[in-house]
Amino acid sequence: MDITEHLEYYVIQYKASLPQPCIQDLLQLMASTEPFEIQYGFVVHHAAPLLHSLSRMEQEWDQPEAMAKLQVKSLFYQFICELMGQLQHQRLEQASPDLVLQAARYMDEHYAEPITADSLATLLNCSPRTMQRMFNKRLALGPIDYLMQIRIDKARELLCRTNTGLKDISEAVGYVDSYYFSRLFKRYTGVSPSMYRETMTHSTGAERANIAAFAPNLETVDSEQKMPSDKLDAVIRRSVRTIIHLKGELLLQRQPEKIAVLDPQFMDHMLALGEHPAGSVMVTGDLSGYPEFLIGNLRTFQPLGTLDEPDLEALVALAPDLIICTEFQKNIYESLSHIAPTIMLERNRDWRETLRIIGRIMGKKREAEQVIQQYKHKISVLKSALAAKLHGQSVTMIRPQDNSIRLHTSVHRTAAILYRDLGLYPPKLAVDRKRTSSLITLEGLPELDADHYFLLTDNKCKAWSDEIQTTTTWKSLRAVQHHHIYHAKASIWIAYYGPIAMNQVVDQVAEVFLDAK
């Protein structure tokens, strides 16, 4: 090792303490898990936002004003939220940090700030040449070109949805010189910002929705000449979006119109945004097919087999212009990519993050944020009401399956809705930092000893579920004797992990605990 090399690091000294008074269940949980004694380390996938927070904390700490220390505390909480979010969703296998993904995420969040190739490379601890080479290899464009696309997209939104002046819009997307911004906007879209705004103002909703990739040069077009409708669609917006996914990146040159989804949850996401898939798989083993809460909102679409066994012949016949799958289909990814451009998303990703990606694919980022904010408002109201109602009673979700009982733990994506979003308490056996579920026997069920059970069933395991409920062991449970067993559809709670299904889960929890007579 070269002893002249320097090691750069941050050290944060803080003290964690429990608020007083604490309920007994929380004290017992702390005693059993001892979270403040745990030491761990991991390679973060997105270092840029963490480094940005640390840098700002350091700057504020050196300020003499008392308010600066409060600002540092606020930044520290943001840092912890980002850190824990990455830790929760990171895969278990070791992986080297993805510099392109980190840089792209940083630019998505800080596009309005001064960013250069040098400053970006310094932030991610690599050379500008390396950053340029990696971007060109992965995205076929450089980091500053990617930044320009983000800024132009943001400018389009502001021009379309506000009456803000050009100078203010220019500054809002990171360009101090409005004249330079105007030239850049026209070079990218084919029209000036003022013409773009005028076109959007006089266009119908249908015309705005039809987004084309072609942007004609309008310098020779008479401004008073009525433009043909096929050209008008092209003038409205040139949508070039790079979607980063598990298999790399996909450059969307135009708005996809015929999308095939190979995981049922993506059907939920699309419908929540007012869009319809052209075809979808169904849940494996769900004999009832597609659930009514989704199928009732669908136009004609093509069934594409099941989650475990997609029907490739039906997929070829559908001729989609985009396929969205998950790692469930990793063995057939090459076959899928020969049928149509294919995006592979992480199946267990938080539904809000997935919705943002689907919104970006569909050109509906704003609508996606509205759905998320509506959900956030709903759970904030319910969380307080549930805490007042249950007084720390434990709640769990179990699923009889394959002659055993699957206990969904606190890190399971749907269980997290109960424990993280709604603030319910898990029983001791359901607290886990790594495994999303564990199997327990019927004889071991009394050890779980939860106050309330959500019993998840489906057609495939209905017979085993019914059999369990006839046993002496089941009937001896406290929750059974107090009528605290609540039946739920496994497909909605587990398979259709999107905003529509998760809102139904939240509504069922509210109905059980708050609307009960």
Give the model confidence (pLDDT) of 61-107 as tens digits: 888 887 888 888 888 888 888 888 777 765 444 445 678 888 888 88
**pLDDT reported for residue 469:** 92
Distance CA 211, CA 118 (A): 34
Low-confidence ranges of the chain (pLDDT < 70): 1-8, 16-43, 45, 89-97, 139-140, 202-241, 284-299, 516-517
**pLDDT reported for residue 316:** 95
Is the preceding peptide bond at 143 cis, omega within 30 degrees of 0?
no
**pLDDT reported for residue 272:** 93
- The torsion region of residue 213 among left (phi > 0), alpha (psi -120 to 50) and beta comes to alpha
Say if CB 444 and CB 415 are below 8 A apart: no
Say if CB 242 and CB 139 are below 8 A apart: yes
**pLDDT reported for residue 93:** 42
Which of the 8 DSSP states describes residue 328? G
Say if CB 421 and CB 410 are below 8 A apart: no
**pLDDT reported for residue 471:** 93
Which residue is associated with the tokens 């095939």?
260
Strand order in the sheet with 437-440: 437-440, 404-408, 395-401, 452-457, 485-489
What is the β-pairing status of strands 452-457 and 437-440?
unpaired
- Kindly report whether the global pTM for this prediction surpasses the value 0.75: no
Which of the 8 DSSP states describes residue 212? B
Name the packing angle between helices 499-514 and 351-362 (round to 10°).
140
CA 323 to chain centre: 18
The proportion of the chain whose per-residue pLDDT surpasses 90, expressed as a percent, equals: 30
What is the β-pairing status of strands 485-489 and 452-457?
parallel
Coil, helix or strand at residue 344: strand
